[in-house]
């Protein structure tokens, strides 16, 4: 167990007081400390949004990319250097809206990447428009009469799409969340931790109290995460009771990078740049 202080940053968070992102930040640090992953052994990729500022408040290798694109950037990074631990931390708009196609593709590719979604069911940074995960009827600045679409169900999508680890946490319970994130990082393959994250400014429905009254822990009810079909059904439970914990987990599926022939001899980044002259002549011979 490392001291979480090694991840501290001189930068003070700009999040609103009480924002659910604080709990996620603490949980990420705690999970890394627990797994004894040093700041240079992990790279955190984010998009743009309130939650995407998370690594700025840490000392860790990080890349703040653009809105919606942290997943492909992280995938490229993983393929270049599979030895690094790779985390993606991004908002629900980032992941399930503008970047949704990348999310779907990552599910079936199964790179060894952990995706943590700060799901506040609203667009925080742009001041309160509705998000793909906003519940039907949610009133926001762009849906004054209530959102018309049905909310996107990320967990069911992930299970359907081929994810090998699917979990949900609650930022109001950072200890439990840290455990989930650690399990996700330990999992070899693509892991999703969707986090219920209250936005205290723009989401007046899904508040801390709303969740505290409803969430329960799957592992406390003897949930078996090996059953994919049951997990998919469980992913639809949303009402008086809201499950958190590991919905689905399957071990032993090959990762994308494990199956790339070019990576058989290790990370691209540790190999010399350029060709062996004989290999080059062999290439020229193809044109002779």
Partner 1 sequence: MAESTVNNMTIRLAGEAGQGVDTGGAGFAKALANAGLWVFTTSEFMSRIRGGLNFYQIRVADHPLYSHVEPVNLLLAFTEEAVSEYAGTVVPGGGVIYDQGLKVREEMVARNGVQAFPMPLVKIAQEVGGNRIMMNTAALGAAAGVVELPFEFIAEIIQRNFRRKGDAVAEANLKVAEAGYRYAREHYAAGFPWKLQPRKTSRPRLMMTGNQAIGLGALAAGCRFISAYPMTPASSIMEWIAAHGARYKVVVKQTEDEIAAITMAIGAAFMGARAMTATSGGGFSLMVEALGLAGMAEIPVVVVESQRPGPSTGMPTKTEQGDLLFVLHASQGEFPRIVLAPGTIEQCFWTMVRAFNLAEKYQCPVIVLTDNYMAFQARTVLRQDFDYTKVEIDRGALLTKEELEQMEGPYLRYKITESGISPRALPGHPKAVFQACSDEHDEYGHFEDEDAENRVKMQSKRMRKLRTALAEIRPPEVYGPEDPEVTFLTWGTTYGPVREAVDILNSQGVRARMLHFVDIWPFPVDAVLPLLERSGRLVAVENNGTGQFAHLLRAMTGREVDDRILRFDGRPLSPDYILRKFEEARIHA
Ligand X SMILES: Cc1ncc(C[n+]2csc(CCOP(=O)(O)OP(=O)(O)O)c2C)c(N)n1
The site map against ligand SF4 for 5-44 (x = CB under 6 A) is ----------xx--x-x-----------------------
Largest Cα–Cα separation, the chain: 74
Alpha-carbon torsion angle 170, 173, 178, 180, nearest 10: -50
Considering Cα of 28, then 32, then 35, then 40, what sign does the dihedral take? positive
User: Contacting ligand SF4 (CB under 6 A), which of 23, 68, 124, 245?
Assistant: 124
Residue 44 β-bridge partners: 62, 87
By CB under 8 A, what part of segment 243-282 binds partner 1? Answer: 260-263, 265, 268-269, 271-275, 277, 279-281
Stretch that binds partner 1, among 77-85, 160-168, 223-231, 234-242 (CB under 8 A): 77-85
By CB under 6 A, what part of segment 104-123 binds ligand SF4? Answer: 120
Number of H helices and E strands in the chain, helices first, is 9, 10
Q: How far apart are the C-alpha atoms of 47 and 24, rounded to whole Å?
A: 16
Between residues 96 and 256, which has the closer beta carbon with respect to ligand X? 96
DSSP 137-185: T--BTTBTT---SPPP-HHHHHHHHT-SEEEEEETT-HHHHHHHHHHHH
Rule CB under 6 A: say whether 211 interacts with ligand SF4. Answer: no
DSSP symbol at 59: S
Between residues 70 and 174, which has the closer beta carbon with respect to ligand X? 70
Rule CB under 8 A: say whether 124 interacts with partner 1. Answer: no
Between residues 67 and 85, which has the closer beta carbon with respect to ligand X? 67
67 binds, among ligand X, ligand SF4, Mg ion, none (CB under 5 to 8 A by kind): ligand X
Q: Which residues bind ligand SF4 (CB under 6 A)?
A: 15-16, 19, 21, 50, 120, 124, 199-202
């Amino acid at each position: 167990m490392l001291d979480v202080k090694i991840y501290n940053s001189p930068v003070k968070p700009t999040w609103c007081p009480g924002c659910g992102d604080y709990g996620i930040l603490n949980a990420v640090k705690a999970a890394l400390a627990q797994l004894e992953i040093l700041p240079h052994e992990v790279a955190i990729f984010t998009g743009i949004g309130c939650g995407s500022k998370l690594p700025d408040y840490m000392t860790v290798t990080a890349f703040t990319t653009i809105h919606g694109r942290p997943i492909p950037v992280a995938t490229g990074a993983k393929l270049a250097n599979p030895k690094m631990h790779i985390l993606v931390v991004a908002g629900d708009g980032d992941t399930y809206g503008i970047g949704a196609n990348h999310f779907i593709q990552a599910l079936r590719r199964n790179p060894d990447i952990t995706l943590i979604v700060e799901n506040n069911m609203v667009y925080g940074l742009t001041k309160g428009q509705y998000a793909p995960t906003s519940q039907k009827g949610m009133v926001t600045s762009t849906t004054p009469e209530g959102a018309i679409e049905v909310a996107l169900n990320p967990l069911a999508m992930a299970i359907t799409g081929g994810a090998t680890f699917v979990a949900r946490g609650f930022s109001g319970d950072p200890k439990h969340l840290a455990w989930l994130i650690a399990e996700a990082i330990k999992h070899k393959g693509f892991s999703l931790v969707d986090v219920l994250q209250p936005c205290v400014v723009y989401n007046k429905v899904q508040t801390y109290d709303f969740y505290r009254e409803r969430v329960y822990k799957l592992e406390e009810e003897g949930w078996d995460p090996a059953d994919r079909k049951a997990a998919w059904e469980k992913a639809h439970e949303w009402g008086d009771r809201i499950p958190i914990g590991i919905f689905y987990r399957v071990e032993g599926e090959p990762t994308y990078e494990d199956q790339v022939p070019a990576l058989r001899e290790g990370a691209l980044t540790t190999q010399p740049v350029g060709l062996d002259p004989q290999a080059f002549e062999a290439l020229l011979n193809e044109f002779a």
